Amino acid sequence: MFGNNAKGQASQNATTAQGWGNTYNADASSTLGEVQPFLQQELLDPQGLGTSTVNQMKTQGGEAAAGAVGQAKEAGMLNASRTGNTAAVPGIIDAAARSAQSGETSAANNVDIQNAELKNAQQQAGASGLEGVYGKELGASLQSLGLSNQAAQVENTAAQGGFQDVMGIVNAAGNAVAAA
């Protein structure tokens, strides 16, 4: 008697857990279909700053260098006209050009480093995102299936207990008949 009640509840629990597992599976498939392409793109081919942005940043570094050279040339020419010493102008312009070229190279390297660091961060975010999606949905689905398995075990145990209850009554009746 108690076995049938426990068996029914365990069967209902198994069905509920399987339903949850199916729901989590469907949710995982839907979420994965939407998110996976983006996360895989981040992991396999991160965009970083983007070609256009990198080019703009390097151009700005070049513009700053050109401005510095122009300013040094203007200052050298002004100084030469005031002092009458034009021999120093080429040296001033040369020094300014070397300094500007060094600054432009440094700025370009910094842009490339920032871009590489951003790409690395995007790859890590893609990997982490994929891990999170797979782990969360798969974990919930597997947990539901585990609950279903536990309920099925309880159902089997209850069924065995019910059979043992019936056998106990039969044995008791048999013993009573034998004693009489």
Question: How far apart are alpha carbons 13 and 8 in whole angstroms?
Answer: 9
Q: Are 65 and 74 in contact (CB under 8 A)?
A: no
Name residues whose C-beta falls within 8 Å of residue 61's C-beta, 6 or more positions apart in sequence: 103, 104, 107, 108, 111
pTM exceeding the 0.85 threshold for the entire prediction: no
Q: What is the DSSP string of 70-101?
A: HHHHHHHHHHHHHHS-GGGHHHHHHHHHHHHH
Question: How far apart are alpha carbons 27 and 137 in whole angstroms?
Answer: 8
- Report pLDDT digits (tens) over 67-106: 888 888 898 889 888 998 888 888 888 888 888 888 888 9
Q: Are 52 and 135 in contact (CB under 8 A)?
A: no
Top-confidence residue, 85 or 144: 85
| 1: confidence class by pLDDT, cuts 50, 70, 90 | very low
Six token digits for residue 130: 């994929």
- Report pLDDT digits (tens) over 43-55: 888 999 999 999 9
pLDDT on residue 160: 58
Chain mean pLDDT for the chain = 77
Name residues whose C-beta falls within 8 Å of residue 4's C-beta, 6 or more positions apart in sequence: 158, 162
H or E segment to which residue 177 belongs: helix 89-179
Sign of CA dihedral 22, 26, 27, 29: positive
